[in-house]
Structure 1
């Protein structure tokens, strides 16, 4: 190590030649009931490493937040204490406060577009029980919802997002094709029970050659009728569907979707989300594959661990598979009703060890780095901020004459205009970087 190197073991900062500092972040964890328990939860393992101390194995650990959003702000520490009860807590400021005091860390282009704040929110999710059937509003709707119901919709921003599988990851996403939807209406009689034969029959009056707007209007009609069914009738119909499917296992193999629906029924008995799952694509991601979700697209994560990045928002409109507030009318009115299987991103290589995922949104991109022992790679300097997360292994991070030792659970805020060299010092070091989309800077 050079004379200016800092070997850190907690929340020390690395002094950079440009006067800015790499900041080690202490991050926020959400304990939603759908999260994984104990050591099975990647979020729990990251929390232990990031904050110190043991987590309660009986408590679900669902989301690990990295960013400036007020619903789960990251903090910058000044000192070497790591434990929850250490005096280091007296020296903590939020990352947002630090950024406000150091606007140059964001770069002029980011400040000019989004102000003095991080435009993206970075997360890790550990899912063992299905999340709600939901969608995120576009900017105009987010502003309207926040203005009218600020306690439910906490900010006025849109929330496009990407989910990158760390382990095998399952989700429902977007409406199935018209052909599949006709098969669903034919083979799932309980849907017709809830929406009525007149509404259900409309699907057979349209085909792939019809105008897109006509097809979407029919899908919207049927889906809205379904999601608006009364609670008592829904419980009875879902129960009958469960009995039918279990009975049919005696003489045929159920489809993957039917097996999923039975699993959802165990988790959310009598919920309308159970039967509406038939309307959505059942997506299974392998590690390294990603799913991106634009505004107004329905989805529900089912199981697995993922890295997630999104515009800095916490706005969610829910309508099923949840004990939380449901806004069925808003959800059904906001959806695009686009049909067909979603695009799966596999990323593209930047170096032999770094893969980039670049969804069509200005606010963010995600890089994934798998680095074997003794191998090195470079993250070029960019004109915006980055957040680096180590989820496995350990290594060395260098910028200029400064080096930091990093390991699982370390989260680093790297200001704009810093080239980062990373070297692996374990069998494999797994690192993720979130930053503002490189496409955004090309337009400046």
Structure 2
């Protein structure tokens, strides 16, 4: 194997070791968290972000965030978002940003009225700072990341390196999950989202990051495997991530990963020549057959309960009344708030209080779209339109970013079932705004010359 191949394998082995280490010695994760942040800043500052080191470190944080949270390694619950924001801001200091990113400054301005309203409308006994930070940190992280990435030139090879940086900490997560629940059959007893197969952490968020893992390792398999060994290794990793994602019994992340792969293959097929199209057709067939195999194994390990989960049935085979695990009530309440407060909304964080007062349900929103319109009103609706259409317009003008639609789909589908609890949807969305260049330039990507 070539040196680059060996480095990839060594990094996978190293992160597998990290997964074992944090399982045996959980306190290590706090050191791991601090090391990531300190090294990230050092790496960016030392290189003056000449080759988008910001994206490498932000990708690594996104990949590690769930592991750090499930092992109580984060000092702040929103560490992932804050770290990405700091890295991105540091990158902007060194490399600037596009003047055409004005649309995302408008996005920021439209968030301000909702924040002001919340200061005066939140209940007296509510921790206003925490309530606002919990709900606004995701959009702010997305906005800063978008401003940094907007039409920023990056080589295709460098973008693949960013994706690889995201891969490695995901290995640690998967190893940890296998150690936490080595026997899936013993811990699956119903069709509800399973905390035991999710490392004791939220199945929704674990499924989300594992779904992203399915996609990024599929990219490694398809575009970054230069030997038979790497093809076999990455193929196994794709199937492992698919299996662990499925048995969380949280459907959103797995389905999102599948959609991302389908979009990537469609773009490659559409843009390829006759020879490439025949190869992609074969890849589609093999992917489909592998998917059937993984599903069959998952069904066997869960005694058929996973089939009932995806058919919206309980363990006895009875169809559940709710198709969205009860989220319809949250969505309906937020849409009603928008109807009653159509201009500026009810204020950031206020929707949770109103829902508790009117329905008795004390739950944070799982849907960023309805949360945005409830808390920001029509201004939130405009923001959502900015977020949806801007990357689509950029993709029309630069189709060399073959991952753009997959990245956009990850953001859109994830915020519909997991809001923006993690940094992942914000960061991955921003990657869709990059101006990818297949040809390798002679100068560094962020050279001022």
**What TM-score does the superposition give when structure 2 sets the normalisation length?**
0.20
**TM-score of the aligned structures, taking structure 1 as reference length:** 0.20
The structure whose Rg is larger is 1
Q: Which has the higher strand share?
A: 1
